Chains A and B, each alone.
Chain A
């Protein structure tokens, strides 16, 4: 089975952000970057599927030159090769624009399965997988908790709301958007890191793919949200504070 995994490199989770001079994005120079966590789970699932069923795992990433470190990490963990769509400024593409880039590159691979994380930790649009499926004309399923390969199809466990799940069968090829926590992430081994150095990274540009920058929606302004609530702190010893809280719950919040 040939599996493509779309990964994005995003600012590390614990980053402190500063809006850049343009006001449209954040200052990236002092940030550190990592593979978007849900995408790391998608990669893990792809590697496990390969271990069970054989085949090839190809990492697919759109991003600036810095994204190479994320691609190398994917290769070190076990991806066989990678495609890097070099885009210096990703803010020139919205979710549909990025999906068009990925779809064009994916078309050249004719994979059986395309995996991606459910959403990115930076923009959080959570739509890349679904749009990709539509552009490629293949079925999809999202919020995937387990994947079971069948003959010519794939059976997945989807997470629904409120603790419900559902099994869905899709014909291949298909796109799956994987939920974080689906399995335990592996670390790259020293051997893996060494091997990654000789693995192929095919470099493409947006113009190679014939996809011009496109924005149906634009981020007009990025800013720190104003704190909208003022917390009323209830002082005193635990007994006094508890009594004051019960008073508030009864007469102000009216939930008692």
Chain B
């Protein structure tokens, strides 16, 4: 039976939120293709995650388990997934386009003589095949990509391209797969992950984000947006120039070189919206832009906009929010 396989990402027992977006994409594609949809989760002990995944509309959940998969390594992950794919022979393998996936998925596709289509933003059906859409030149152009060779097709899905809420519930059976791995296979030696800043911020988990850009002018003006973030109960984020200047720590940077976020609200203050920034936040459900330039690209993605001087608009906004929130 033909099938789509979605490889979910988990880190230390917690799902990567983009996994659900990719699962939503996979469910939709599988339905349209009229094929099975299966999910996989990889790790040392993934029984709890596999049970949770089994409550989604999937034909099967593969719990790919091995002690050597407890800590991520490109060699271990590639070998484990290669064995799973050879055994289950899916037609399409989908990944969330995370940092980890970028680190191993091209290697995995190469094992099959295939080329991964990375960072996919959409697709259309073409007979029993998919034509995938991805961006070129940092979002200035799009390209439709067609698979030309036979065999398994690999693709990774951009953050925010599909909605995690669209994942359908169901019931799947869990199949535990123990790949044949040995320690000699893993050539890299990884140490414990660490953070450099004392204050840890997980912007990807934030529901509301107020983000500040060059328009703020000087570091001394930052308390204004901090006050706005506090009034909303939002996390404070920034575009690259703000962090490059050292006005805010790098961990608060949103964009292609920072974090990718998909909050319920993204309020961009004084951010023009260079594509490097847009790729990091355009998956937000509601985007608001406050900018003095009506032609700023941020208005290409914003749902609501106020064209004006942020130093007049933001204080007024803080006041109005406080009125509503009481």
Contacts and interface: CB of A to CB of B under 8 A. Distances in A.
A binds B: yes
B136 A168 contact: no
Interface of A: 11, 13, 15, 17, 19, 26, 94-97, 99, 121-127, 130-131, 133-135, 139-143, 159-171, 179-181, 215-225, 227, 229, 231-234, 238-239, 241-243, 245-246, 248-250, 253, 255-256
B220 interface: no
A217 B189 contact: no
A97 B106 CA distance: 13
24 contacts: A26-B137, A94-B115, A95-B116, A96-B109, A97-B115, A121-B137, A122-B136, A125-B116, A134-B110, A135-B110, A140-B74, A161-B98, A161-B204, A166-B194, A168-B189, A215-B149, A216-B113, A222-B141, A225-B142, A232-B304, A233-B306, A238-B312, A239-B320, A255-B286
Contacts of B324: 246, 250, 256
B187 to A, nearest CB: 4
B251 interface: yes
B135 A124 contact: yes
Contacts of A218: 145-146, 148
Interface of B: 74-75, 98-100, 102-107, 109-111, 113-119, 131, 134-149, 187-197, 200-204, 207-208, 232, 249-251, 257, 259-260, 264-265, 285-286, 288-289, 294, 299-309, 312-313, 315-317, 319-321, 323-325
A223 B134 CA distance: 11
Contacts of A181: 257
Contacts of A161: 98-99, 204, 259-260
Given A225-B141, A242-B320, A250-B324, A234 B188 contact: no
B103 A222 contact: no
Given A217-B145, A223-B143, 13 more contacts: A17-B140, A124-B135, A134-B107, A161-B259, A163-B200, A168-B190, A216-B115, A222-B142, A233-B294, A239-B316, A245-B304, A249-B304, A253-B285
**SS class, residues of chain A in contact with chain B:** mixed
Contacts of B203: 162
A159 to B, nearest CB: 7
A225 B293 CA distance: 22
Contacts of B134: 124
Contacts of B99: 142-143, 159-161
B148 A216 contact: yes
Given A131-B107, A231-B305, A162 B137 contact: no
A83 B84 CA distance: 39
B115 A165 contact: no
A220 B145 contact: yes
A238 B309 contact: yes
Contacts of B265: 249, 253, 255
Contacts of B141: 17, 19, 26, 222-225
A53 to B, nearest CB: 21
Q: 9 tightest A-B contacts by CB?
A: A163-B251, A127-B106, A242-B316, A253-B286, A216-B115, A139-B187, A238-B312, A130-B106, A242-B317
A222 B143 CA distance: 4
Q: Which of A131, A161, A164, A227 has the most CB of B within 10 A?
A: A161
Q: Which of A162, A225, A238, A248 has the most CB of B within 10 A?
A: A162
A220 B117 CA distance: 13
Nearest to A163: B251
Given A130-B107, A232-B305, A227 B300 contact: yes
A96 B110 contact: yes
**SS class, residues of chain B in contact with chain A:** mixed
Contact of B142 (A99, A133, A159, A223): A223
Nearest to A18: B141
Contact of B102 (A94, A126, A165, A232): A126
Contacts of B308: 238, 241
Given A219-B143, A219-B144, A165 B196 contact: yes
A221 B144 contact: yes
A250 B317 CA distance: 13
Given A124-B135, A168-B189, A242-B306, A163 B142 contact: no
Nearest to B313: A238
Nearest to A180: B257
A95 B136 contact: no
A253 B303 contact: yes
A130 B77 CA distance: 13
Contact of A217 (B98, B117, B264): B117
Contacts of B195: 163-165
B114 A96 contact: yes
A131 B104 CA distance: 9
A219 B134 CA distance: 10
A143 B110 contact: no
A164 B193 contact: yes
A160 B321 CA distance: 35
A222 B325 CA distance: 47
A136 to B, nearest CB: 11
Q: Which of A161, A163, A179, A250 has the most CB of B within 10 A?
A: A163
A229 B300 contact: yes
Contact of B325 (A135, A180, A221, A256): A256
Nearest to A222: B143
A134 B320 CA distance: 57
